Structure 1
Amino acid sequence: MLTLFHSPRSRSTAILTLIEEMGIQDRIDIREVTIPRMDGSGRRDPANPHPEGKVPALVHDGRVITERGAIILHLTSLFPDTGLAPKVGTPDWGVFAMWMAWYQGVLEPTFIMEAAGFSHPWMTAAVRDHKTAVARLHAALEKGPWIMGERFSAADILLHGPYVWFPEAAPHDPLIRDWIERCKARPASVKVREADGARMAQLAAA
């Protein structure tokens, strides 16, 4: 049994989008939970199994899996015929796994550091900076039109995410901006964002 713990307009939105793209909505139980948010709203939900009270958290037969990159690897491996990732064990799957790790270890940390106005030589030495990360995205998309080449994949869902929620931070790079807009325009992405927006409006009105 698979259960995803989700909170609207959060990191788990990427996983909902993935589920929609894969067409496996009937295979996963989606449970909404509350989370503490940056504006001070929300709270930690005792029903959420995530050790830090965050989302997403995927429970598979009692085992808790967190971190979007890991969840994406797990779901695309469980449902390989959906076409959102290369075949496990191939060189392309190794590249796909690399992008999952790179997002968690480089892109998101450098994105957050830049948004927070934080800089430190140790961090720059360890993970570089957002400008360097953007250059790597650009290099991948030059071979594109998608991160993995000619075919849209779950890597696109994960990597374009920060620029959807914080469009002002999107690089002034036509190649990257076009990619972001194409990811946003996919029917699964539109559907999930609209549902999240409607749910947030309901919560605000309650």
Structure 2
Amino acid sequence: MLTLHHAPNSRSSRIVTLLIALDVLDQVEIRLTDIPRQDGSGARDPNNPHPEGKVPLLITEEGEMIRESNAILLYLSDRFPSEFAPQVGEPGRGAYLSWLFWYGNVLEPVYIHHLSGLSHRLLDITFRGMPEAVACLAAGLEGRDFLLGDHYTVADLLIASPFLWFSEATPDVPVIRDWVARCAAQPCIAQSATFDAKAAQEMGLSVA
């Protein structure tokens, strides 16, 4: 059985959301773990084998560790084929892969730099900036409901996640705001929030 090391209300919540969407939550052992939080609460769990003490961490039946949200999402969407992700050889696969890795390689670094107020020429050259990231996302959504077309996919789940966590940070661009609202309305989002609320209660956490 697959094993997911998961901290409620964290980046690993995206993985739980996908497992719920795929209806395979019962095929993965969820091990709840603590992590250091931005507000100073929490601590590294010595039982979490992630080399940096982070989440998410997925361990396969063969004992291999898979780190990073986009890598885990890709692994799971390939392992459990569904309408939520195009498979190898299917139309949209290239766009799907591009959006998954654009998130990790561009959007999240740019987003963190923006929130931190960091500005440097080297950062701008390497990642561009928030205006360029917003323009790229808006262009990808123009004329469509979701990033790959007319239905919600893993790419939407991943890329919308920071705007679902911090709605005030959602770019004031109609096509993006409408897309975030459509993503928020997906049943798996509410179901994942319920799962995390119960998990946090079990752990005695008071995270929002």
Deviation track 1:140-168 (CA, whole Å, cap 9, x = no partner) reads: 11132001111210000000011111111
- Residue type of the alignment partner of 2:179: W
CA contact (8 A) 1:147 1:156 kept: yes
Which residue is 2:206 aligned to?
A: 204
* Equivalent-residue separation in structure 1 for 2:205 and 2:177 (angstroms): 31
In proportion to residue count, which structure has more helix? 1
Measured against aligned partners, the alpha-carbon deviations of 1:93-144 in whole angstroms (never above 9, x if no partner) come to: 1221111110000000101111011111001000101111111111111132
Partner of 1:65 in structure 2?
66
CA distance in 2, matches of 1:196, 1:119: 35
CA–CA separation in structure 1 for the residues paired with 2:143 and 2:102: 18
The answer to whether the 8 Å contact 2:110/2:127 transfers is yes
Following TM superposition, by how much is the alpha carbon of 1:91 offset from its aligned partner in structure 2, in angstroms? 5.0
Match of 2:85 in 1: 85
1:50 and 1:57 in contact (8 A); partners too: yes
Which consecutive unaligned segments of at least 5 residues does structure 2 have?
A: none
Deviation at 1:38, TM superposition (A): 0.8
CA contact (8 A) 1:22 1:83 kept: no
Deviation at 1:198, TM superposition (A): 4.5
Residue pair 1:6, 1:13 contacting (<8 A) in 2 also: yes
Q: How many residues align structurally? A: 204
TM-score under structure 2 length normalisation: 0.93
Q: Which runs of 5+ in 1 are unaligned?
A: none
The worse-fitting range, judged by mean Cα deviation, of 134-143 and 189-198 is 189-198
TM-score, normalised to structure 1, is: 0.94
**Alignment deviations for residues 20-58 of structure 1 (CA, whole Å, 9 cap, x no partner):** 111111211111000011111111111112111111000
RMSD, matched Cα: 1.5
In structure 1, the partner of 2:77 is 76
C-alpha separation between the residues in 1 aligned to 2:178 and 2:48?
A: 36
* Secondary structure of the corresponding residue to residue 152 of structure 2: coil
1:122 alignment counterpart: 122
Match of 1:170 in 2: 170
1:184 aligned partner: 184
Q: In the alignment, residue 124 of structure 1 is paired with which amino acid?
A: D
Q: Distance in 2 between matches of 1:199 and 1:66?
A: 21
Q: What SS does the aligned partner of 1:47 have?
A: coil
CA displacement at 1:170 relative to structure 2 = 0.7
Distance 1:109 1:175 in 2: 22
| AA aligned opposite 1:196 | D
Q: Which residue of structure 1 lines up, in the alignment, with residue 20 of structure 2?
A: 20
1:119 aligned counterpart, secondary structure = coil
Classify the secondary structure of the residue corresponding to 2:66.
strand
Q: Which amino acid aligns with 2:77?
A: T
Native 8 Å contact 1:146 1:179 kept in 2: yes
Matches of 1:186 and 1:91, distance apart in 2: 23
Q: Does 1:38 align with 2:38?
A: yes
Instruction: For 1:104-115, list aligned pairs within 5 A.
Output: 104-115=104-115
Cα deviation for residue 197 of structure 1 reads 3.3
> Runs of at least 4 residues of structure 1 off by over 4 A?
none
* Structure 2 counterpart SS, 1:118: coil
| Separation (CA, whole Å) in 1 of partners of 2:128 and 2:76 | 30
